[in-house]
Structure 1
Amino acid sequence: MRNTARRATALGLTAATVLGPLTGAALAAPDHVPPSLHAPSALVLTVAHGESAATATPLRAVTLTCAPRPSGTHPAPGPACAALRAAEGDPGALRAGDDVLCTKEYDPVVVTVEGVWQGRRVSYARTFANECVKHAHGADVFAF
Structure 2
Amino acid sequence: MRNTARWAATLGLTATAVCGPLTGSALAAPAAPASLYAPSALVLTQGHGESAAAVGPARAVTLSCAPRPSGTHPAPAQACAELRATDGDFEALTVTGDAWCTKQYDPVVVTVDGVWQGKRVSYERLFSNECVKNSARSTLFAF
Same-fold status (TM-score > 0.5): yes
Corresponding residue number in structure 2 for 1:107: 106
Cα distance in 2, alignment partners of residues 54 and 31 from structure 1: 46
Cα distance in 2, alignment partners of residues 138 and 48 from structure 1: 20
Corresponding residue number in structure 2 for 1:59: 58
Does the residue aligned with 1:142 lie in a helix, a strand or coil? Answer: coil
Does the residue aligned with 1:137 lie in a helix, a strand or coil? Answer: coil
Corresponding residue number in structure 2 for 1:12: none
Cα distance in 2, alignment partners of residues 138 and 56 from structure 1: 25
How much does 1:56 deviate?
1.2
CA displacement, residues 84-122 of structure 1 (integer Å, 9 cap, x when unaligned): 112211212214354333221211001000001001111
In structure 2, list runs of 5 or more residues that go unmatched. 1-12
| Mean CA deviation greater in 47-56 or 98-107 | 98-107
Q: Does 1:88 align with 2:78?
A: no
Do the aligned partners of 2:44 and 2:113 also contact (CA within 8 Å) in 1? yes
How much does 1:132 deviate?
1.5
Corresponding residue number in structure 2 for 1:37: 36
Amino acid corresponding to residue 67 of structure 2 in structure 1: P
Q: State the Cα RMSD in Å.
A: 2.4
For normalisation by structure 1, the TM-score amounts to 0.75
How much does 1:44 deviate?
0.3
Q: 1:101 to 1:31 in 2, by over 3 A?
A: farther
Q: Does 1:128 align with 2:124?
A: no
How much does 1:27 deviate?
7.3
For normalisation by structure 2, the TM-score amounts to 0.75
Does the residue aligned with 1:104 lie in a helix, a strand or coil? Answer: coil
Corresponding residue number in structure 1 for 2:47: 48
Regions of 4+ moved over 4 Å: 25-28
Q: 1:97 to 1:58 in 2, by over 3 A?
A: closer
